[in-house]
Chain A
Amino acid sequence: MNMCPDYIVHYMHEYLDGEISPEHELELKAHLSSCASCQKHMHELSRVVAFVQSASHITAPIGFAEGVTARLPKEKSKVNMKRWFHSHPIVTAAALFMILMSASLFSSFNDDQQFSFTKQSNIVVEGEKVIVPLGETVFGDMVVKNGDIQIDGEVVGDVTVINGTQYMASTANVTGEIEEINQVFDWLWYKMKAGAKDVTSFLNGKEGK
């Protein structure tokens, strides 16, 4: 083997890598057939390859993936919630509905600080006070928001005061209910009742108030 040129061994490796050119392969084969020591070398290298490749295919131990998951940094809660929402669509829809509804109710209670009242032809407004004058009769419901109402005359219908006070003169006559709403929960209750009333009147085919 000592007398053999170095490139013969190089060709052997080219051969084993499957990258030998046809010329080199011919040269290698010619040399191997005439040189016992190189033939032995080649045989040993081929045996090395077969030996290493005989290694059995091992697989990851049981519980490997769980081990990885346990070592991962904590995932963002955003995704956790998203997954929860995915698995509970009805609860999600209901919760979303409640949030939006309450938001609109609260905002209409807090943001709407304007003085407003149901327009009637025969009432008098003084500053933030609505007066039903003596001798006058208002037909229909009266709603006053963020202001007071003083009733000297007659109201044929309900009177509702939101964020205000109602003053009743001894001559006053209200045929319907009188209500004062100053708390958020009262407000909510009122809204719900109004909604229910709308629905029932709609179902009864009547015109809403």
Chain B
Amino acid sequence: MDALVNKRIKEVLKGDQNAFAEIVELFQDKLYRVCYRMLGNKHEAEDIAQEAFVRAFVNIHTFDTNRKFSTWLYRIGTNLCIDRIRKKKPDFSLDADVTGTDGLTMYSQVASTDDLPEEEVLKMEMQDRVQYEISRLPDKYRAVIVLKYLEDLPLQEISDILDMPLGTVKTRVHRGREALRKQLSNM
């Protein structure tokens, strides 16, 4: 897989966009998933994940082929997500356009800062509830929890992606778990 990716990267470096399209095919699900879990909104996730690929393409010459491409790509993606979360306007509305979200309720569109009344939360479908609880996590814990439990990445790789010491990653995973425990205490 890595050999194939590096071959494609060399072609992209020569200016071949078709080779990059193959890289997108290989990594789109992973990156989109992380963005979706981080942002909790399909449209934003698609926008940010696509933007991450565009940035990867533009900056491909800075990628060190001795390292893992997915780590580099995740780093671009998570940084964009964190920026987006911080810039997010607080006036996010539940009535926001949810067309084309095929079957997802408005709860899956809820921004991280909006806490719902408990009775609403208890009525949620399981999948929406998972997304909702992840969205409620402070973003510094959210990133590590998403990468650890939804992408099954080793702690060392998470440390590379988020560019923080391994110890910090561990602490954030612990605190993230504790935060989720408190959030879920009513279940």
Contacts and interface: CB of A to CB of B under 8 A. Distances in A.
Task: Classify chain A: how many residues form its interface, as a range.
Answer: 20 to 34
A55 B53 contact: no
Nearest to B137: A52
Interface of A: 10, 13, 16-17, 41, 44-45, 47-49, 51-61, 64-65, 67-69, 71-73, 75-76, 78-79, 83
Given A13-B173, A17-B155, A71-B54, A61 B42 contact: yes
A103 B64 CA distance: 44
A57 B33 contact: yes
A60 B29 contact: yes
Interface of B: 14-18, 20-21, 24-25, 28-29, 31-33, 36-37, 42, 46, 49-51, 53-54, 57-58, 126-127, 130-131, 133-134, 145, 149-150, 155, 170, 173-174, 177-178, 180-181, 184-185, 187
The residue among A53, A57, A60 with the most chain B CB atoms within 10 A of its own CB is A60
Contact of B127 (A55, A64, A75): A55
B58 A69 contact: no
Given A44-B181, A48-B180, 14 more contacts: A44-B185, A45-B177, A45-B178, A51-B187, A52-B150, A54-B126, A59-B29, A61-B42, A65-B25, A67-B46, A68-B21, A68-B50, A76-B15, A79-B17
Contacts of B180: 48, 51-52
